[in-house]
Amino acid sequence: MEVVQKRIRTDGTSLLVRGFGYAFIGLFAICCLIPFLVVLGTSFTKEASIAKHGFNIWPREFTTFAYKIVFENPNLIIGSYIVTIGLTIVGAIVGLFLVAMTGYALQRPDFEQRNSISFFIYFTTLFSGGLVPFYLLIKQYLHLGDNYLAVLLPGLMSPFLIIMMKSFTKSIPHAITESAKIDGAGDFTIFLRLILPMATPALATIGLFIALGYWNEWYNAMLFLSPDMKYRPLQLFLYNVITSADFIRNSSAASNVPLRDMPLESMKMATAVVATGPVILFYPFVQRYFIQGITVGAVKG
């Protein structure tokens, strides 16, 4: 293959650079991967072995005990899963529709108010009221404390995604809109029937960005959902498992395992594996959509 590709003989320096490239990139990639393997490995390691040898990639003494404990009281984690999946699906569909509709309208050259509306949206990235007024708004004025809407609503749209959608739909020729208008179609019909089907790669990208945001969302959940709520989004659930001793005590009681025998460390890792698993499994198939979005959205098109 080398011979076919290279008509010119590669000189020594270039070979050296290439060799260095393989070594450096390979090492960096391994560094990116190791932490994941440590989490995975530790989740399958006996607690006694962790106490003796610390965290490791390869479990010295293999066990699935931590997973048994995590699923001993399965309705908690299954409930969290359902909450997160629900938020992700509803948020991605509604958010995607709104972002796409706004993005399409805002790039229409014949839409006179497009610049002022774009600025209205963009300005929110320049100046903000900060956390405290936002918190008071959601909690005291909208009364959304302990309500999943407090997590769902603020994540629906972002200026970044609207700008990305604008750049994407700009590449669909305006002539299509024009000719449909001549045929008597309204703006919304054009968007729904013509633009949406043509913009599927863009929609996949933006939908996936929104979905990933909801799957990994813990900030609004931590702010607005109290620990009294039985079913919390997955990441908040994980956060509580990692940080709270109460949770360990409760699962100890629920599983009839004495507190001193609870696999504290491996349980944290097992919960992390369960919370991240779906993302990692889907990831290889969807990464190209994210790459598309990043290249389009990074430098304003």
Partner 1 sequence: MKTIAQPVQASVETRPRVQQSRSRKLWNNRTLLLMCAPAILFFAIFAYLPMPGLYLAFIQYNYTDGIFKSAFIGLDNFRFLVMTGDLWRLTFNTIAYNLAFIVLGNFLQIFIAILLNELRKKWFKKVSQTIMFLPFFISFVIIGLIAYNILSFDYGLLNNILTSLGMEPVKAYSNPHVWPFIIVITYLWQSTGYGSIVYFASIMGLDSEVVEAAEIDGANALQRIRYIVLPWLKPTFIILLLFSLGGVLRGNFGLFYNLVGANNTSLYATTDIIETYVFRSLMNNFNFSMGSAVSLYQSVFGFIVVITANWLVKKASPDNSLF
- The rounded distance, in Å, linking the Cα atoms of 180 and 178 is 5
Closest CB to partner 1 among 197 and 256? 197
Q: Among 73-81, 105-113, 197-205, 248-256, which window interacts with partner 1 (CB under 8 A)?
A: 105-113
Query: Which residue of 88, 102, 167, 251 would you call a contact of partner 1, by CB under 8 A?
Result: 102
Residue with tokens 């590669």: 10
Structure tokens at 96: 């995607």
Task: Give residues 10-69 in contact with partner 1 (rule: CB under 8 A).
Answer: 11-14, 16-18, 20-22, 24-26, 28-33, 35-36, 38-39, 42, 50-51, 53-56
Q: Which of 58, 78, 111, 259 binds partner 1 (CB under 8 A)?
A: 111
Whole-angstrom Cα distance, residue 265 to residue 45?
Answer: 9
Q: Which residue type is seen at 76? A: L
Q: Closest Cα partner for 215 from 32, 126, 89, 300? A: 89
**Own/partner long-range contacts of 254-262 (Cβ < 8 Å, ≥24 apart):** 254/72, 254/73, 255/68, 255/69, 255/72, 255/73, 257/69, 261/47, 262/47, 262/69
Q: Which is nearer to partner 1, 27 or 253 (CB)?
A: 27
> Is the CB of 236 or the CB of 251 nearer to partner 1?
236
Question: Can residue 283 be called a binding residue for partner 1 (CB under 8 A)?
Answer: yes
Contact 241, 247 (CB under 8 A): yes
Q: Using the rule CB under 8 A, give the single segment among 63-71, 73-81, 148-156, 252-260 that binds partner 1.
A: 148-156
Contact window for partner 1 (CB under 8 A) among 74-82, 197-205, 248-256, 270-278? 270-278
62 pairs with which residues across the strands? 45
Residues 181 to 240 in contact with partner 1, rule: CB under 8 A: 186-188, 191, 212, 215-219, 223, 235, 238-239
- Closest distance to partner 1 from the beta carbon of 123 (Å): 8
**Residue 160 is a binding residue for partner 1 (CB under 8 A):** no
Nearer to partner 1, 93 or 253 (CB): 93
Least distance (Å) between residue 175 CB and partner 1: 6
**CB of 133 or CB of 201, closer to partner 1:** 133
* DSSP per-residue letters across 188-209: HHIIIIIIHHHTHHHHHHHHHH
Q: Does 98 bind partner 1 (CB under 8 A)?
A: yes
H/E run at residue 35: helix 12-43
Q: Which two tokens stand for residue 78?
A: 């299954």
- How many C-beta atoms surround the C-beta of residue 150 within 10 A? 19
**Residue 244 is a binding residue for partner 1 (CB under 8 A):** no
Number of amino acids touching partner 1 (CB under 8 A): 108
Among 75, 124, 200, 250, binds partner 1 (CB under 8 A): 124
Of 12 and 184, the one with the shorter C-beta distance to partner 1 is: 12
Q: Which amino acid is at 87?
A: L
Q: How far is the CB of 280 from partner 1 (least distance, A)?
A: 7
> How far apart are CB 183 and partner 1 at their closest, in Å?
16
Residues 77, 99: Cα–Cα separation, whole Å = 31
CB of 256 to partner 1, least distance (A): 26
Supply 84's token pair: 């997160």
For residue 129, state whether it binds partner 1 (rule: CB under 8 A): yes
Q: Compute and round to an integer the Cα radius of gyration of the chain.
A: 25
Distances in Å between the Cα of 245 and the Cα atoms of 61, 223, 267 are 25, 20, 12
